[in-house]
């Protein structure tokens, strides 16, 4: 009988990272987060997994996780600590308490002794404050007899139709060796573009959508077939009612353009880097964030729906997001693309099975 390896997901949010591990064949035992609605989404979409609403700043939270996983052998801890302290878009404060949340990962690892730890974060973590956080993570891994290998991964290289760069620290027990990251599966001229990712979804131009929709187009790309995977009812695909002014501004942005392409005096209310960005049908989308006001469909004069953003994050269509629309957008934007989790999970299984 083939052993099914186990994982727990810290700072799980809705569980994009661990959902990818589930797709790779892991049994996800537990998701831990401080957002109740995100955890409801997590429980709905993970097979028989439990969710714990905890603040990982608190030492008692570690004991509660240990109690919850009692008598269970945990093979992998995966974690995506909040990245605001390291993000280029946040206020960079070296003493931001969120910067040190990765310590909770190691406090738990001391008690559960997993075979591997994977930490995901924004690229800024590598260099900000002179690389303090990166060096501390590596030091803690060495101290606990893990071999740690950090690497920047570019999501489009692995089939995700979105410009997203993140650092992954993969640490394995010394006897398992050093983790070698999977090679990219796509070349730049093969990246999945927005049209091949979401072009089969209802356009929502005349209909703002219902809680459940039927597909009204056939798939025309392999990515769309993978995302549908036999799904029949489309959820989280609600349109947004824009003012005539906003629609007029969007209409003047060319495909792949942004606020810099608008005529003088148009769209002056938003002038920052990502403002009035229209996706390009043949290219991956910009990085999906937790809001939904600055990016627009490559064809239609509206923001992408939650489902469209989820597709661009590589969530399959049967993954349902709970909560109001704002909460759903936040869950999608905070997630690690499941496809990246799946690729890493599949490679890690080979190490855990001593096939490498």
Residues designated catalytic: 83
Cα–Cα distance between 6 and 156 in angstroms, integer? 27
Q: Buried b vs exposed e over 70-92: b needs ≥16 C-beta within 10 Å?
A: eeeebbbbbbbbbbebbbeeeee
Among 335, 339, 328, residue whose Cα is nearest residue 40:
328
Q: Bridge partners of 117?
A: 77, 171
DSSP string, 15-31: -HHHHHHHHHT-EEEEE
Name the residue among 32, 317, 335, 27 with its Cα closest to residue 198. Answer: 317
DSSP element (H, E) containing 296: strand 295-296
Distance CA(294)–CA(66), nearest Å, equals: 42
Going by their DSSP bridges, the two strands 6-10 and 76-79 should be labelled as parallel
- Residues 138, 150 contacting (CB under 8 angstroms): yes
Nearest to 261 by CA among 278, 243, 244: 278
Residues linked to residue 147 through DSSP beta bridges, in sequence order: 172
Give, as one character, the DSSP assignment of residue 78.
Answer: E
């Amino acid at each position: 009988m083939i052993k099914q390896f186990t994982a727990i997901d810290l700072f799980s949010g809705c569980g994009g990272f661990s959902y990818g591990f589930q797709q790779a064949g892991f049994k996800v035992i537990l998701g831990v987060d401080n957002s109740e609605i995100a955890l409801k989404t997590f429980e709905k979409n993970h097979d028989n997994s439990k969710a714990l609403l905890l603040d990982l700043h608190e030492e008692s939270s570690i004991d509660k996780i240990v109690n919850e996983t009692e008598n269970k052998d945990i093979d992998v801890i995966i974690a995506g600590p909040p990245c605001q302290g390291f993000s280029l878009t946040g206020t960079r404060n070296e003493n931001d308490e969120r910067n040190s949340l990765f310590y909770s990962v190691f406090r738990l690892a001391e008690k559960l002794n997993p075979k591997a730890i994977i930490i995901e974060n924004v690229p800024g973590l590598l260099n900000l404050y002179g690389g303090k956080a990166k060096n501390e993570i590596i030091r803690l891994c060495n101290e606990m007899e893990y071999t740690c290998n950090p690497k920047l991964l570019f999501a489009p290289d692995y089939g995700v139709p979105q410009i997203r760069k993140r650092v992954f620290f993969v640490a394995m027990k010394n006897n398992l060796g050093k983790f070698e990251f999977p090679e990219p599966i796509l070349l730049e001229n093969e990246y999945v573009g927005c049209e091949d990712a979401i072009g089969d979804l209802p356009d929502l131009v005349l209909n703002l959508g219902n809680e459940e929709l039927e597909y009204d187009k056939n798939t025309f790309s392999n990515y769309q077939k993978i995302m549908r995977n036999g799904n029949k009812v489309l959820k989280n695909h609600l349109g947004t009612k824009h003012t005539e002014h906003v629609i007029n501004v969007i209409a003047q942005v060319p495909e792949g353009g942004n606020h810099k392409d608008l005529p003088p005096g148009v769209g002056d209310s938003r002038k920052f880097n990502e403002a009035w960005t229209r996706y390009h049908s043949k290219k991956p989308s910009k990085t999906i964030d937790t809001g939904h006001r600055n990016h627009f469909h490559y064809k239609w004069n509206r923001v992408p729906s939650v489902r469209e953003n989820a597709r661009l994050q590589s969530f399959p269509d049967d993954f349902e997001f709970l909560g109001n629309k704002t909460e759903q957008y936040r869950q999608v934007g905070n997630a690690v693309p499941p496809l990246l989790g799946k690729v890493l999970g599949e490679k890690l299984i080979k190490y855990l099975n001593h096939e490498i």
